[in-house]
Structure formats: structure tokens, C-alpha cells
Amino acid sequence: MKRIVILASVFVFSLAFVSGALAQEIKVGTLLAHTGPLKEFGPNIQNGAVLAAKQMAAAGFEIKLIHEDSETSAIPATNAAKKLVEIDRVVAIVGALASGVTVPVAESVTCPNNVIMMSPASTSPLITVLPADEGKDFLFRTCPSDALQGVIAGKLAAGYNKTASVLYVNNPYGQGLAEKFKRSFEKRRGKVLAMIPHDEKAAESYTAELRKALAGKPDRLCAYSYPDHAKVYLKEAIEFFKYKRFLLCDGTKSEDIVKALGARNVEGQMGTAPGSAGGEPFVIFSADYKTEFGRLPPLPFITCAYDGTAVIGLAAYAAKVKGLPLTAKNIRDNLRNIACPPGEIIKPGEFKKAFNLLEKGKKINYEGAAGSVDFDKNGDVITPIEIWKYSKGKIVTVRMEYEVPKE
């Protein structure tokens, strides 16, 4: 009897050891904007990451999130990233939001230290070909490049206007989107009259920039900035220049802009933004987000942060069941294996099912809240581009553009 008890104890201990090994946590940083021009977006995008981590833990695998504020600025964000990598020893960072933050952080911190950077919101085309990541493959994003959004925006504007000017934030995001828009708009016989940059730091007034942008009386003014910039210069355009024909974007898809300008002043104004493929994955995510946080705001990239955290966790679990240590390299090497065909479809929240399949050596294909997370060789994904508008003080979807013309 004593021998049986000992053997049983050893068996139970072994099961506990195996279970504990599979449940080994990883540390993941978030580097999102809680202050600075993008501060409206940061908390809700962070909630997306938090929800994914919580669901992972409930399924048996813990992601310990360590949150840092990028301040929507390169220098403080770089310092925060160094802390996450050198002190907290994270294997991945979900962030940043601004492309003007993601690029320097990737160049000086994550790529040199072989740490995964998974941006849910940096859309600059520069990120696709960033030299710092060439041959390393540690820079990914779960939002599409503005090589897509710029094409759709140009196509949208050309359907209604012959001329346009662009007022944009002077960083990789604003520059990239403005250039892609100009190329697309002019390909469709539109004419861009002015391309006017402004500083990344929010200013009290933009009348000088507006005077240049509106000098030629464009049919449309593209507001390619962040909420803290645009809520100032859009209000000035309306009040001082009596101008109210705007084309907005993901950076200006903002409830704060409605509050600052008033619902009547933004009524009917349209914009573009990376969207969600919809369907059952988005429905599931939306319900889970509302249960956890009470409301899913109509702001961009919340789904992308959820998906980014989810694929990091799934890739880590895939590495673990193969007996590999949970290093950034081993996790990275499994990112495409768990989110690309072939494999059994895994929808948001179905992490226990995913873990069981991985333990059996089965292939899985995570289909995200924003859409397919099929990383290409550059770490990019393609999701639909949303055309949206302000209606009665709300942000509403007009339609999704699934077919992106090649430019």
C-alpha cells in the first residue's frame, strides 16, 4: 500500500510539473500612448491587450503584462522600452502606436536586442522596409500599412473632388500617409495643391499652417494628424477660415474631436482607417470586450492590440509544447505557424481549444478580431480599410473596402 501511495504521489507531482511547465508565464511589455497627442487612444487599446492576456491565463497560460507610457514621443518611449527590455526582461513589446515612436524604438532597442516588437497601430510604409530589422525578423504589426489606406483615401477623395491639400504630422506616419494619398489621388486625375507638415508636439494654434494649406481653395483638406493636433486646427479652420470640407483618417477618428468641435460641425465628415473584417471573430471579441470593460468605443486599433497579444501567447505556447525555452527568438519562429493556413481555425477567446490542439501536435490558424493575422515576410498583415463618418455626434462605419487596387 505504501508503495502505491508513493507511486501515486510521484504521478500527481509529475502531472503538476508538466502542467506548471506548460503554464509558464512570459513577460510582455505594452508601450502605448497614455499622454501626448495620442492619449485618447492608449487606454482602450491597452484594454485589448489586457483582455487577451486575461483569456490566455484562464486557458492555462499566463502572460504577465508590464505597461509603460510612450508619451507619443520618441525619447521617453525609447527610455521606457529600454527599461522593459533590460530590467523587466520582456520577450516582446506590444506597441507602439505612433510610427514616429515605433521606428526609433525598433532601431535602437528591440531589433538590436532581438526582442519582438508587435505594433497594433503604426501604419507607416517605412516599417515594412526598416533597415534595422533586415535579416532579423523581430518587427511585426497587426494593422495594415498605409500603402493600403492611402490608396483607398485617394480613391475616395477623387470620387468627389478635383483638388485637395494635406495638413499632416511631420513623422513617418503623417509623411507616409500623405505621400500615398497624393499618389493615389493624382493617379485618378486629382490635384494636390499643398502638402503642409506640422510638428509632432501639439501646438496652441495652427493658423500659419492652415493659411498655406487653404491658400489655393482646395475642394478638400486632408487632416492626417493625431487628435490633439486636429481638434485645434479643425476648429480654427471652421471658425477663422470658414472652411468645413475635411477628409479624415485613423489618427483623426476621434471622439475628442467631436467634443471639441461640436457634433453639428463634424456632421457628415468622412475618413478612412484600418478596419475589421467583421464576421464571427469580431462579434465574439466585441461581446467579450463589453463584458470586461462595459463599452467598445469606435476607436481604431483596439482589435489589433488584442490580436497582437493573442498571437504572441499562442506562439509562446507552441514553442513550449515543442520543448523549447520561451525566448523571443523561439516565440518569433512560431508566429507564422499559429496564425496562417493551414490549420484549424481559432477565433478570439478560443485559447483553451488552441492549447489542446497544439499539445496534440495539430496545426492552428488564428483568425483575429481585426481579421486574418497572416504575417508576410516583412511582418505585415492585410486587413480591410474602413470608410467611416461622423453622424449625429457618433462615429459610424459607411463600408469596408476589401479590394485594394495596386498602385
* Judgement on whether residues 141 and 153 belong to the same structural domain of the protein: no
Q: Copy the grid coordinates of residue 35.
A: 499622454
Q: DSSP letter at 126?
A: G
Flag whether 380 is in a domain. Answer: no
Whole-number pLDDT of residue 211 = 98
CA distances in angstroms from 73 to 34, 78, 299, 313, listed in the order given: 11, 9, 21, 28
Predicted TM-score of the model (pTM) = 0.93
Domain count, the chain: 2
**Helices assigned H by DSSP within 23-145:** 42-59, 74-86, 99-105
Give me Rg for the CA atoms of the chain.
22
Question: Residue 379: left if φ>0, alpha if ψ -120 to 50, beta else—which one?
Answer: left
Q: Copy the grid coordinates of residue 184.
A: 493615389
Flag whether 108 is in a domain. Answer: yes
Alpha carbon distance 312, 219 (integer Å): 44
Flag whether 373 is in a domain. Answer: no
Flag whether 375 is in a domain. Answer: no
Flag whether 218 is in a domain. Answer: yes
CA distances in angstroms from 98 to 82, 225, 308, listed in the order given: 17, 10, 16
Whole-number pLDDT of residue 7 = 39
Question: Residue 56: left if φ>0, alpha if ψ -120 to 50, beta else—which one?
Answer: alpha
Q: Say which CATH number the domain at 290 has.
A: 3.40.50.2300
* Judgement on whether residues 135 and 9 belong to the same structural domain of the protein: yes
373-391: b (≥16 Cβ within 10 Å) or e: bbbeebbbbbbbbbbbbbe
Alpha carbon distance 149, 51 (integer Å): 27
CA distances in angstroms from 10 to 15, 323, 370, listed in the order given: 9, 21, 45
Residue numbers of the domain that contains 69: 2-145+279-366
Whole-number pLDDT of residue 45 = 98
Flag whether 169 is in a domain. Answer: yes
- Placement of cell 504521478 in the chain: 11
* Judgement on whether residues 140 and 17 belong to the same structural domain of the protein: yes
Flag whether 378 is in a domain. Answer: no
Q: Which three-class secondary structure state does DSSP give residue 145?
A: coil
Alpha carbon distance 176, 256 (integer Å): 24
* Judgement on whether residues 140 and 168 belong to the same structural domain of the protein: no
Closest-CA residue to 404 (of 46, 65, 150)? 150
Taking each helix axis as running N to C, give the angle between helix 42-59 and helix 302-321, from 0 to 180 degrees, rounded to the nearest 10. 30
Whole-number pLDDT of residue 386 = 97
Are 404 and 387 in contact, with CB atoms under 8 Å apart? no
Alpha carbon distance 119, 52 (integer Å): 15
* Judgement on whether residues 252 and 120 belong to the same structural domain of the protein: no
Provide the residue-wise pLDDT of the chain in tens; the chain has 407 residues.
444 433 334 333 343 333 334 446 899 999 999 999 999 999 999 999 999 999 999 999 999 999 999 999 999 999 999 999 999 999 999 999 999 999 999 999 999 999 999 999 999 999 999 999 999 999 999 999 999 999 999 999 999 999 999 999 999 999 999 999 999 999 999 999 999 999 999 999 999 999 999 999 999 999 999 999 999 999 999 999 999 999 999 999 999 999 999 999 999 999 999 999 989 999 999 999 999 999 999 999 999 999 999 999 999 999 999 999 999 999 999 999 999 999 999 999 999 999 999 999 999 999 999 999 999 999 999 999 999 999 999 999 999 997 655 66
* Judgement on whether residues 200 and 258 belong to the same structural domain of the protein: yes
* Judgement on whether residues 205 and 244 belong to the same structural domain of the protein: yes
Are 176 and 218 in contact, with CB atoms under 8 Å apart? no
* Judgement on whether residues 310 and 195 belong to the same structural domain of the protein: no
**Helices assigned H by DSSP within 92-136:** 99-105
* Judgement on whether residues 262 and 286 belong to the same structural domain of the protein: no
Taking the chain, what is the end-to-end CA distance rounded to the nearest angstrom?
77
* Judgement on whether residues 266 and 300 belong to the same structural domain of the protein: no
* Judgement on whether residues 7 and 111 belong to the same structural domain of the protein: yes
Flag whether 114 is in a domain. Answer: yes
Alpha carbon distance 31, 45 (integer Å): 10
Are 249 and 272 in contact, with CB atoms under 8 Å apart? yes
Amino acid, single-letter form, for residue 147: A
* Judgement on whether residues 23 and 105 belong to the same structural domain of the protein: yes
Whole-number pLDDT of residue 402 = 76
Question: Residue 135: left if φ>0, alpha if ψ -120 to 50, beta else—which one?
Answer: left
